[in-house]
Amino acid sequence: MPAPTLRRPETSRPDRESTCRQGPRKVLTAGDLRLPGLLLFGRNRVAKAAEPLVWHVHPGCLEFVILLKGEESYFADGQRYDLTGGDVFVSFRGQPHRSARPYQSVNELLWFLVDPAAEHFLGLCPQSAAPVREALLGLREHAWRADGQTLRLAQDCFDAFLQPRDPLFCTGLFLSLLSGLLSPGRRAPSSPGIRRAERYIRENLAAELPLETLSRVAGLSLSGFKRRFRLETGRTPREYINGEKIRRAKELLGAGRSVTDTAMALGFASSDYFSVVFKRYTRLTPSGYRHAAAGEVSGELDGGAVLPQPGRPCSPDKPEGTVPP
């Protein structure tokens, strides 16, 4: 496949964003938030695969992405980060980052931009602001898993700013949210039962996989399994199954299997239905993905990302130049 076109990362400026309180992509700007250092807060629902994010930076700002459901992947600092619901991703100040896939996945997420160098940071006195700044600037991990309390707090915080509520109430929620995000002790554990169910799904993708069977594998009641699975993976069991089938379909198509054979191997009722599901998750038809993986499609499919080859990791192509923190 042709080498990707290298390009300078775009500079993302919060002051170019406009407030939007309706629709699947809601955005609140600094003028709405009225909290020094919090420049942008948004919530986005992606119902079908969308255009990928190209290389971009946020000068002076950290960007937090809190994935509520679904999945997403990013490249930053030469590494790929694959997230599922409940995961948090952070890009550091002035750090180029982009989508790691040729599309943005079906998901729901919150994101915000924070500038630790802002005057009167978060409305705190210098002594109180100092440890918060230190914690933000001392981050070394790009991704981790948040606990349920932090995820609920993130949604409550955005809703409070959206309404809007009393500024003191909003400030308190946001400070609590930052505390939850920055506290390693608040990161969510995973349970052996759910891990068993995930492994069973991956090993039996051609089967029907009824939820009753999966709940027995996990050792939970049906209602308890559905609740626990969603809490730990950020996806319903059916969303997880579809995601794993699409992942395996990419491997088979990339290895040269026909669309019909791939659909049958993964238990889809027909190749037509398989094509509908595949395109919803990837923006490509199965045949389009097959040709692209074989190097038969020229041009940029992904705004700078490299289409993964079967059995090989994505190559983290570098943008021209770097942007200092």
Position with higher pLDDT, 21 vs 13 = 21
Q: How far apart are CA 208 and CA 11, in angstroms?
A: 46
Residues 219 and 280 in one domain: yes
**Residue count (the chain):** 325
Assess if residue 316 is contained within a domain.
no
Is 29 a domain residue? yes
From 186, 202, 222, give the residue that closes a domain. Answer: 186
Look up the CATH number of the domain holding residue 258.
Answer: 1.10.10.60
Instruction: Provide the greatest CA pair distance for the chain.
Output: 64
Counted domains in the chain = 2
- pLDDT, average across residues 58-63: 94
pTM: 0.72
Cβ(157)–Cβ(97) below 8 Å:
no
In a domain, 323, yes or no: no
Instruction: Give me the percent of the chain exceeding a pLDDT of 90.
Output: 58
Residue 3 belongs to some domain of the structure: no
Average pLDDT over residues 231-256: 88
Structure confidence by residue, pLDDT tens digits, 200-229:
999 999 998 999 999 999 999 999 999 989
Cα–Cα distances (Å) from 220 to 200, 203, 211, in that order, read: 15, 20, 11
The H-or-E segment that residue 28 falls in is strand 25-29
Q: Which pLDDT belongs to residue 152?
A: 92
Whether residue 78 lies inside any domain: the answer is: yes
Task: Show the domain range for 46.
Answer: 10-186
233 and 167, same structural domain? Answer: no
Judge if 21 and 169 occupy the same domain: yes
Which stretches within the chain are classed as H helix?
30-33, 126-137, 148-162, 167-182, 192-203, 211-218, 222-233, 237-254, 259-265, 271-282, 286-293
Q: Specify the 3-state DSSP secondary structure of 70.
A: strand
Give yes or no: residues 162 and 284 share one domain. no
| 314 in any annotated domain | no
